[in-house]
């Protein structure tokens, strides 16, 4: 939202984008690093070097790191994983120690990534993190991370919450009333609404049902029957979401 923040790109690579965010209402600035780490450990070493260099830029300023680091930090970040630290984990730990950041207080899912092969138990890991430096938490005391249900992705949706920033109401959708007098507008719209029902309500209902059906998966992620049931709800949610999206796109173009 350009009325709420100014975002300036500081630097970027193929694994991280560093930006400076100015919140206009409070005048506070935050350095944000959006991470999408590569799969191979040798490639991630470039990322760790980049973060170490960027720490010099953010010195004395609030800094938050968000994204998929593609490696776990601690042993408890893998369900039924190894009993000892791997070399890639040690490299990640060294980087986190050097740049002096740690996980932001969070709620929601712990295992943020899941792999669901057919007929198998799958893998569960915490690959996605929201991390902060000391200055960030000193400036934004009540901030926290929220890791939401997977829904249609193999990754949890990660949301940074900063409650002490004032809420800015979004701009309303503009609708031109003269269109309501056009038969070309009314008849197709009536037919769509009659055939589909309330698409938004349908999506909302399926989202709540998906949240409920995925809860047993978090408790017992290796139960294949529970996961197959959740998969059916995911497919239904995806179809309803696509219907709603196409309908809104069509409506916006009329």
The whole-chain average pLDDT of the chain stands at 81
d(CA 217, CA 9): 39
User: Residue 72 corresponds to which tokens in the numbers above?
Assistant: 């776990």
The least confident of 145-149, 155-159, 238-242 is 238-242
d(CA 254, CA 245): 15
Winning range, highest mean pLDDT, from 92-96, 162-166, 199-203, 213-217: 92-96
- Residue 131 to residues 103, 128, 167: CA-CA distances in angstroms? 4, 10, 23
> Does pTM top 0.85 for this prediction?
no
d(CA 173, CA 252): 9
Q: What are the residues whose beta carbons fall under 8 Å from the beta carbon of 141, sequence distance 6 or more?
A: 164
**pLDDT at position 81:** 65
How many other CB atoms are found less than 10 A from the CB of residue 201?
A: 11
**pLDDT at position 150:** 74
d(CA 108, CA 123): 18
User: Residue 231 corresponds to which tokens in the numbers above?
Assistant: 């998969």
What are the two backbone dihedrals, phi and then psi, of residue 231, each rounded to the nearest 5 degrees?
A: -65, -35
Winning range, highest mean pLDDT, from 53-67, 99-113, 140-154, 196-210: 53-67
Domain ranges for the chain, please list them: 5-161, 177-253
Please give the CATH architecture assigned to the domain spanning 5-161: 4-Layer Sandwich (3.60)
For residue 176, the Cα-to-chain-centroid distance in whole angstroms is: 34
Confidence of residue 3 (pLDDT cuts 50, 70, 90): confident
């Amino acid at each position: 939202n350009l009325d709420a923040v100014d975002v300036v790109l500081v630097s970027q690579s193929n694994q991280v984008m560093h930006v400076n965010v100015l919140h206009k209402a409070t005048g506070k600035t935050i350095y944000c690093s959006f991470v999408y780490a590569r799969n191979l450990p040798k490639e991630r070493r470039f990322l760790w070097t980049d973060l170490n260099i960027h720490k010099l830029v953010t010195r004395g300023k609030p800094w938050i790191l968000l994204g998929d680091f593609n490696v776990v930090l601690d042993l408890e970040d893998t369900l039924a994983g190894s009993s000892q630290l791997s070399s890639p984990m040690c490299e990640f730990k060294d980087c986190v120690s050097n740049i002096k950041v740690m996980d932001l207080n969070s709620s929601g899912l712990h295992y943020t990534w899941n792999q669901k092969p057919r007929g198998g138990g799958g893998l569960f890991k915490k690959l996605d993190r929201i991390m902060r430096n000391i200055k960030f938490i000193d400036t934004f005391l009540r901030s926290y991370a929220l890791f939401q249900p997977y829904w249609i992705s193999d990754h949890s949706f990660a949301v940074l919450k900063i409650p002490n920033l004032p809420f800015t109401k979004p701009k309303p959708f503009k609708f031109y009333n003269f269109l309501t007098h056009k038969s070309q507008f009314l008849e197709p719209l009536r037919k769509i609404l009659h055939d589909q029902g309330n698409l938004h309500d349908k999506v909302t209902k399926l989202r709540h049902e998906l949240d409920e059906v995925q809860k047993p998966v978090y408790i017992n992620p290796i139960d294949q029957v529970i996961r197959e049931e959740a998969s059916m709800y995911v497919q239904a949610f995806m179809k309803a979401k696509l219907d709603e999206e196409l309908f809104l796109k069509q409506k916006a173009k009329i």
